[in-house]
Structure 1
Amino acid sequence: MSLVLIAEDEEALLEVFSEVVEELGHRVVRAHNGEEALLLARTETPDLVVSDHMMPRRTGMQLLHAMRAEAALSDVPFLLLSAARPQGREAAQTFLAKPVDLSTFEQAVSSALQNHAAAHPESAPSAREAASTPGLASEEMLNWVAHELKTPLSSARLNAQLLLRKVHKRGVDDERRSAEAILRQLDRMNGLVTSILDASRLADGKLELKRVPTALTPFLEEIIQEWRELQPDVDFTLHAGEPVEPQLLDADRLRQVLHNLLSNAVKYRGDSHRVDVDVTLNPGLVLIHVRDWGVGIPASALPHIFDRFQRADEDRGRGHGLGLFIAAALAKLHGGSLSARSTLGEGSTFTLRLPRRN
């Protein structure tokens, strides 16, 4: 049995995190702020620390730095949770964004504990100088908003997942459908909050890409397969011509762009069951085309679909008008662009242009 120290200032989240870890067979010590967590860690060295970032009396990052500075605590695995993306989070062994998926959280805890004996974390970086950029206040406000919105969402989602797990054991279909409906709406709320935060960071120039060489065709095949499993009634096809050399991309952010384009293609396909993805090469460019054969976009709306809070239809229940704005901004961050052409009743084609790495 391992000892897990959980630091979380939200009582509801502290309760559910503790319940999940205890059900995994481990002993839990609870702390309501960073200072209390550090004192408890000094009293009895834990095998793992699970900590929220935005806490009173020491943030999660401050707790991590304090532990890394003490010989007895320097090698304790650290799992950091946050709705924001604090600088220096890579110093923790694992970072999970709120709201946290139940299975992902369980896997992260189990993996950290299993690897504890072999773990050799690097020394914590020296304390960074205080930022003095004009955007600091707005960035801190953004992080606060993320924390305040996503913390109750995380608690509600984890409890709904626990409820769904219990309902599955009882086999009651009505209760299962209700629990699944709750999860879908919570995920929708989380998607909206995430999109608002991404849009704000992009507008303020606060979002940075992490580019690595990425084999484009296997990457696209993986995404298409995910959508085939998610939407089995839709015929997704991928046409890739000549091989493309690995490209320098932020795979997570490019996945976000493509998921948005494929999601829109599915939503607006009308009676068609076909979505095509084509890859073509131009001098210096890789072009990814996502085409549906559905309702199309009115000519009057086409010039504005990449603006914030703009939508191509009047059905407000189908989205929040930020997806294409974010997708276009992420394409631009990659040094590329996103464009669209459409004919009413014949469908739409979105083209993502990315600079080609030769």
Structure 2
Amino acid sequence: MRDNIPTNGSYLYGEPSISNPNNAHRGLDIHARYDTVFAVADGIITNVAYNPDDTIGGYEPGGGGNYITHRASWDGKNIYMLYMHLQRPLVSTGQQVTQGQPIAISGNTGNSTGPHLHFEMRMNTAVSATPGSRRNGELWAGMTGMGAICGRVPNAPNSTRVDISPDPKPRPPYTNYSYSLTYNFADPYIGSDDIYNENYAIGDVKPGTYTITALGGTYRRVVTVVAGQVVNADPPTGITAEEPVIPSAFSVKQNFPNPFSPDEGGTTVMLSLPSQTYVSAKVFDVTGREVSTIAERNYEAGSHSFSFEGSSLPQGVYFLRVVAGEHTKTIKMLLTY
């Protein structure tokens, strides 16, 4: 599910709660409308809270509705993951599960404004009223091919705006992310990662190089993101940040999604470069006529992404040709409406 369904980019972990701004959003909202929910790790189901007689309120009408608690282990610690607002569970209490196993159908039960999955992570305890127990799920799970960024803006007030440039999100499927906020630590249950000690995080980031700013530019960091890794923009003193992984060979991955629609944000193409190279990326129709230039400049060694919307073009088959030095790659794309 996480490979094609985004989190709600305008209501992230640690942001002021919609119902009470003095509190914070203690998890992630994932745009899953009555869809299959999969276990994020191997573990055991410690609680299934399900009321089949109340299809609106579920087990907890004023809160999580129907929900599942799932315990896994990491570095000798117990992590409890809660999947909330479910339509119904597909597992039972005490059942062992494996990563990727279907465990529920998402829904709209409890205190919910629409069908979605609320995903929450709690460190060492499943008890809700445990100060500092929550963790940001975007640093633990994300879309395949994406990375994540975290950092700590020194002396930042709660809910300080954090900007990132260029646009870090894969579009589609993301539609509503603009910027992040530092966590609202006025909520006593909000916690930072045990290693990163962050006060902001940005998940599902396309591979590339980004500039992060806050506090009118007095906070500024430049980071390079690669697929499958979390980059800490502010590593603790004495800890060296990981060097970005440089691809060993030139490659262009098939665009995703494909087919794609301009009405749904277009499509994204991933590019890997083993060295700094001048890149030309152009789109042609079936007659060989050039219809769009996506890129025409030097790129640093690393992983990069192109976005193509095609809103001015009729539906049909198109070809993206990427030329990087002596390398050329052409992929076939299908545009639909």
Q: TM-score, normalization: structure 2? A: 0.30
Give the structure with the higher percent strand: 2
Q: Using CA pairs under 8 Å that are at least 6 residues apart, name the structure with larger relative contact order, 1 or 2.
A: 2
Structure with the greater alpha carbon radius of gyration: 1
TM-score, with length taken from structure 1? 0.29
